[in-house]
Amino acid sequence: MEFDKIQEIIVDVLNVGKEEVKPETRFVDDLGADSLDIFQIIMGIEEEFDIEINETEAAKIVTVQDAVDRIKEATA
């Protein structure tokens, strides 16, 4: 469930195909995201899941799976 929602956010922000967004996909290396893109993705995640991700935690989110894990921690 979290993955599907994050995938939608990433596809929308980065204008990439759904098939490019997998759990192991890295935002910068695989999708070419820059710092503004990552900020927009984090904002989308915060809004969608009603959580807050601080700057330190956001810096640790490198892959899509990292984002899923962070959401699970925040909503547990």
Per the listing, tokens 């935002």 go with 27
Query: Are the C-beta atoms of residues 62 and 26 closer than 8 Å to each other?
Result: yes
The predicted model scores a pTM of 0.91
> Where does residue 2 rank: exposed (0-12), middle (13-18), buried (19+ CB within 10 A)?
middle
30 part of the active site: no
H or E stretch covering 8: helix 2-14
Can you list the domains of the chain with their CATH numbers? 2-75 (1.10.1200.10)
* Catalytic option among 29, 30, 34, 66: 34
Specify the pLDDT at position 13.
97
Task: Report which of 21, 19, 30, 17 is spatially closest to residue 3, judged by C-alpha positions.
Answer: 21
Q: Over its length of 76 residues, how does the chain's per-residue pLDDT go in tens digits?
A: 899 999 999 999 999 999 999 999 999 999 999 999 999 999 999 999 999 999 999 999 999 999 999 999 998 8
